[in-house]
Each structure stands twice: as C-alpha cells, then as structure tokens.
Structure 1
C-alpha cells in the first residue's frame, strides 16, 4: 500500500504541475494573441487614415494636409458611444492619431494637440516608417506606471513615390486589458475547476478504494497473527464491502473447518481414557465380587463420568469463545461488584477444603465488555487455585488498576508449577496432576481464561511466587 500511496502522490504532483504549466501558457498566450489582434486592426486603421490624407495631397507636395483629418476626429470625438462588447461597455473613443512631416516633426495630434511641434524622429514608429519599413512600438506615458503603456502603429504618407510624412495610430493598452483580465479569469477558473476535479477524483479513489483496502490488508495481517478483530468499517463503497465480507466469510469457514477437525481429534483422544476406565469398571461389575470392591468400581465410574462431563462442558464453553471473531456482547459493568459476587458463590466449594478467600480492591473499577465471559474466566482461575491449594490454606483475590489496565490476580499457597509447565499452561488439554493424587483437570480452564482476556483486548499470565504458590492474573484495558 505504501507504493500505491507514493504513486498516487506522484500522480497528483504531475497533474498539478501539468495544469500549472498549461495555465501559465494560456495566460501568456492571451496577452500575446490579444495584442496581436489589436495591432492588426491598428495597422488597418493607420493604412486607411493614411489613404484619406494622401487623397488630399497634390503631387509634388512637401508635407501632408491634415485639415480634413482634424475635422474627422473632431466630429468623431463628439459622438456618444455605448457599445456592449461581451461583458465590457465602451463609452468613449479609444484610438487617436498623430501625423509628422518627413523630418519627424509632429504637425497634427488628435489628442488635443499634445504632441504637436514635437520632433519624434527617434521613435521606432517614425524612424522605421520613414526608412521604408514597418514601424510600431509600445511605450509608457509614465515610466513608473506599468498601466500607462500605449501601442503605436505607423503607416507612411506618400506623394507620388516619396514619403512625405508618417501617420501613427495609437491606443492605450488599458483599453485592451479589460478583455485580457476577463479571459485570464475564465482560463484560471476553468483550469482550477478541471485540475481540482481530477485531484478530487484521485482523492476519492484513495478514500473509497485504497484506504478500505489498506484496512482490509491490516485485518488480514491481524488474522494471520492470530488476533481477534471485527471486520473494520469500510465506508459505503459496495465493491469494497463485498470484498470485506467475502474475506470475513472465508476466514470463518476456514477457521471453522480447522477448529472442528482439531477439536474432534483432541476430544476423541481425551475421552479415550475415561471411557476405557468406565468400560473396564462396568465389565468387572458383572462379576461376583465383595460389596467393598463393587463400591470402589462404582466410584471410579462416577469419577470418570464426572470428568467426561467436565471435559465436554469446558470444551463447549471454550469453543463458544474461540468461535467469536470479536466481542459480541459489549456493555459497561462494575468489575468490583462482579468479583464480590464470585467470592460469595465460591463459599461451598471453599468449605470442602477449609479454604479462606480474601478479596481486596483498591478502588471501584468499571469496565466495558462481556461481564459473563469475565466472570467465567475468574471462576476458572479460582477453581484452579482451589484445586492446587492445601487444605485450610488461603487464596487471595485482588483487584487493582495499573498502567491504564485493571489487573485481576488470584494467589494460592500450592506447590507452584514447574518451569516447563508454565510455558505450556495455556495450551489446550495441558494439565498437571492435583496435589496428593494422580487426577488431572480437563486442561481447558486456562485456555478459556486466555481467550476471554484476548477477546477483551487483554492478556493472561501465570507465574510462580518467590516462596510458594502461583499467581494467575488477567490484565484488561480500562
């Protein structure tokens, strides 16, 4: 998934850079194309006006006659203009002209005669035109104001084959900037909308597809590690949710098959001994024997029957826990009250061996989870402690909060467990003989405790005490 994220990031970066370059090109091109179009119209205008002036010139004249052109501009400037050009309304004449003689001296300026009497032979529009070339320039009226630029386009005035003057048409760039600004705004808006749409599409694909796939990957990896996790929230994407449910169903199916196979095999093996003992005792009871011996065989049948029942009962409880991919009953409950309840219910069982149960809690602790599952786990630890405790001994049940966890501990005064047994304590069907006899438990109590803690996001531990006895504990997140 890291490669996918890097690829998506690079894709967004490339798209963003591409649209940036496109926007720069289009914005620069708007200026160039607009001024080119304006210059073309000004060339036509200058040529037409030069033709008007030439018409009034007699062959052999040394300078143009500007009187008729002066009248034309005087009339034009008195006209009222209200032209709607796209989103811009034009209300005044935006073009002017000046005429020079063959030396570059201005003899007419339609802009209130501002340039009349000024020699402009050094400016490109005049100098190049008098030299027989195309003359044009762009100059600022105020060098400190970039918005004061004016476009100048010139056309020669001829008398016969001689150039006797120059007619220059000029127009402020500010008149054209209105259209450029509007086009720039349209280009920027379109570019940002398209680019933003593509980037949003990439982000949406990441959120709707790749992010849920990342969650599914983590879910699958957690399953591989043996963790119990519910199917993560994958959003509302139909395809991803279908994939997630298919993965969950496949997992449950495969786990179910392996679970049934392993448990049937193990249960069959574990039931062989008690069933063989029951069968042997039943066969011997058919023979004629003293009453005392008959009672011994009957006790053996009852004991093995009880062990078989405990094995099946514990196996059913454990299978119910192991069959849950996540905690199904999730509610708040008071752990301190639950421990008091367990201690009260254990009274008769403790009395058989004359044991005392001392319960201590440093505070009132509340948890969120399945109270019945936690109760079953604590009862199994207590049953284990009772089995390994000497007669008239003491069992300590303590409840405390430590490092943002609640810790339930049960300490007994039994012989403790060998180191090799501590490593295998939570394995299925692994059990040690009870003190003073060769009888074993079902080997399912501690695995049940482990599964209960795991479902609640906690852990279970078993270790020997320094002097004697064991301490079994459950650590649950608060």
Structure 2
C-alpha cells in the first residue's frame, strides 16, 4: 500500500472516529437536556396552577369551578404552531390534584378521580414538603410511552393541603430530538466530508512531493540528468532533496573522473602510438615521399587527438548540466534545414540522396543550439555509413506531448554484438569506406542532449534494410 494512501486512510479513520465520538456524545446528551429544559418549565407551570386551583380547592368546587372550566377550555385549544420546523396542532398537558391524603380530587382527563396516588413519587414527596417528580411508562416495555410528572404543593393558610401535578408525554419532544439528531448526522457527514477533502488534498500534496523526490532519486540512480526538485512548503523534504543532490554531485564527480580517465587513457593510446611510431621512423633516412607520408600520419593522429579532446570537453560540459539553460520553441524543420545546409558538401561528395518529411508545425521546447547539434551528430553518422548513391530519409511524427525524429540510411546493418554498446563513450564502428573511426562520442552527446530535453535516442537495424536512428524530444 502506498505511503500517501496509508496516511489518507489513517487520517480518515481518525477524523471519522473522533467525529462519530463527538456527535454520539452530543446525541446522547440531547434527550436528557431537552427533558431537563421541559422539567424546568413544568415546575413553573405546576406552581402557577397550584395557586390558580387554590380557591376552588378550598371551596370544594374542583369539578365545576373556574379552574375546571379553564382546563376544559385549554384542552380544546389548537395552537397550530410551527416550532423550528415541527408542527404542533394540539395541547398535551395533563393536570391532576390530590388532597393531603394523596387521593385524587381533580383530573383533567377525568379518569383518576378518587384514586389513591399517595405512593406515587411526585405526590408522596410534595405532600412532605419536598420536590416531587417522576417519569413513568404507560406501557412498561415501550419507552416511547413515558410521561414526565412534576408536582407543586397546594398551600392553604401556610400548610400543605394537597398537591397539583402537571404531566407531559415525552413523545411530544421526540420530533425535536429527531430533528436535532438529523442535524448532527448531517454535521457529521459534512465534517467527515471536509476531513476527507482535506486529507485527500494533504495526501496528494505529500504524495506529489514524495513522488518528485522518488523520481529524482531514480534519475540519480539511473545516471540521468535531473534538477533537484523544488518542494515549497515542505522544508524537511526540501532539505532531503538538497542532500540527495549534493550526494549525487559528489558521487558523480568521483565516478565521472574515474570513468573518463580510464576511457580517455584507452582512447589516446592508439593515436599516441601512431605518432610515436611515425616520429621514430622520421629519424631514419627516408626519401621525401616517405617522410611526407609519415608527417601526414602524425598530423592526422594529432587532429584525431584534438577531436577527441574537443568532443570530450563538449560532452563533459553537457553531462554536468542537470537542466536546460534556455526554454524556447524550436522548429524541427528549421533546425533540420540549418544542419543539412552545413552538411550539403558531404552529401554532394557522396552522391547521397535526401528525403525530408517534417511537418511545419513540428516544434519542441528546448535549446536550439543543442537540438541542432544532436541532429548534426545523427546525420553525420548516417552520411558516414551510407554508400554512394544511397538515400537518407528524415521523418518526424508527433509522440504524446513531443515529437519523434527518425533518420533512416541505406548503409549496412549494425552487427548484433555492437547494438548494446552503441552510445558508450569512445565506442565506434569502422566506416564502410575504410576511413578512420569516429571518436565514439557523437552518440553519447546526442543521448545526453535528448535526456536534457526529456527524451532519448535509440539506434537499431531497420527491418527493410539499413539503420534507423530515433530521436525523441
């Protein structure tokens, strides 16, 4: 499992668990809080009604007095109210009163008059001067049938002469509780959703930074040029990237020197040996023609040494670069025409034909000089290996966000043993015309240029004959 995915799942789990815990905690507190609020209001109501019922209680007219008629009128009321989106169409408060013995002397429902309520907690405690309240179920197994009872004392001449109880079914508060639960659930979904979005964004940001760092590490391990990735907002990873870059520079510097010293030493042996041998022969008595021949050999070998040094310095400058210095649009057709113009004398000398098929819109972003140099190297190789009256074909096709150039020549196929080594520094094949080998650095230069432009180069035998060099930019 990817590191970023593990972070995202861990973050999601934490947000979900904490969110659910908080919502469940609040959810469990809603019902008690609402009932506590209702109980506080019922205390006020019970005490108010205890005062209102006292005249009829003393006069013994509870069944037909003003209080009874007021309660009957109350029961017939229809509030038609809408409280926070919940409709209330009927009143649901029950009122009953007992005498000092706990016998019911008034009941708004008319069902309990004459019954002994002295053992009910609301009546029992109130008649003893304490706060009396209870919650009871009409049906024992059904919590939805619970009713809250709150009592207040009926005082006559300073003594407790009875108790008045107001009762309210808890199911009347259920719509508000369910509405609050729904709001909490939606809040939880919103919180988790926002948490997921934030976690996904954070994971993407971290994954992108780690991915860029990983790509950089892979490029370093593969020896490809790559700039140290910029990681704004992530100091730790930026420091790590910088450390990797510095380590790469040190390791590459050491390996670079070792490799080039070894390769250059090997490559210089042949021309130096030729120069030494020709110089020794010049010490002998030679006729002018022989002396001129050996002097020409020394000159050619010196030129070869100079060419090796120049190309090696050129390659060294490119290989130490990790990114392009200039980013500009480069027309591949224009670049090809410039290079072909410079190589026209060689094409004419070898009677080599040319087919050019590069669309006018073929353009890439990069350094014009380097792209022309890469084309020059590939075309020079194609000319070197194309026989007289042969043909070189240059085509360009779009490839994703870039372009692919193909340079096909009619020369001999490359031996199988040589294909894996093409592009190695100082490795070159003999020319078909018997001329001196190249420096073996041209294809290495081209590959470095292509990699700086995010592409690559390959050289293979064409199924129809000849050799094709593919340059991707």
TM-score > 0.5 by shorter chain = yes
* Aligned-CA RMSD value: 4.9
Q: Answer whether contact 1:46 1:154 (CA < 8 A) is retained.
A: yes
The structure 1 residue matched to 2:367, chosen from 358, 364, 370, is 370
**1:99 alignment counterpart:** 97
Partners of 2:133 and 2:294 in 1: CA distance: 130
Deviations 1:280-333 (A, max 9, x none): 322332333211111011111111011111111221222233222233322111
Q: Which runs of 5+ in 2 are unaligned?
A: 72-91, 126-131, 139-143
Deviations 1:434-473 (A, max 9, x none): 2243732111112222222233233323233457543323
Which piece of structure 1 moves more, 98-107 or 188-197?
188-197
The structure 2 residue matched to 1:359, chosen from 355, 360, 364, is 355
Q: Answer whether contact 2:386 2:411 (CA < 8 A) is retained.
A: yes
Which piece of structure 1 moves more, 216-225 or 403-412?
403-412
Partners of 1:318 and 1:307 in 2: CA distance: 16
The structure 2 residue matched to 1:119, chosen from 111, 116, 122, is 111
**1:393 alignment counterpart:** 389
Q: Answer whether contact 1:380 1:449 (CA < 8 A) is retained.
A: yes
Partners of 1:25 and 1:125 in 2: CA distance: 37
**2:86 alignment counterpart:** none
Partners of 2:382 and 2:134 in 1: CA distance: 106
CA pair 450-39 structure 1, distance change in 2 beyond 3 A: same
Which piece of structure 1 moves more, 13-22 or 298-307?
13-22
Matches within 5 A, 1:224-303: 224-303=221-300
Output the TM-score relative to the length of structure 1.
Answer: 0.72
Partners of 1:452 and 1:316 in 2: CA distance: 14
The structure 1 residue matched to 2:327, chosen from 327, 330, 344, is 330
Shift of 1:267: 0.9
Q: Answer whether contact 1:50 1:155 (CA < 8 A) is retained.
A: yes
User: For this pair of structures, how many residues does the alignment match?
Assistant: 436
Output the TM-score relative to the length of structure 2.
Answer: 0.73
Deviations 1:191-214 (A, max 9, x none): 999989987886676466554234
Q: Which runs of 5+ in 1 are unaligned?
A: 75-93, 109-114, 141-145
**1:81 alignment counterpart:** none
The residue matched to 2:241 in structure 1 has which SS?
helix
Shift of 1:430: 1.1
Q: Answer whether contact 2:151 2:166 (CA < 8 A) is retained.
A: yes
Partners of 2:404 and 2:166 in 1: CA distance: 95
**2:10 alignment counterpart:** 10
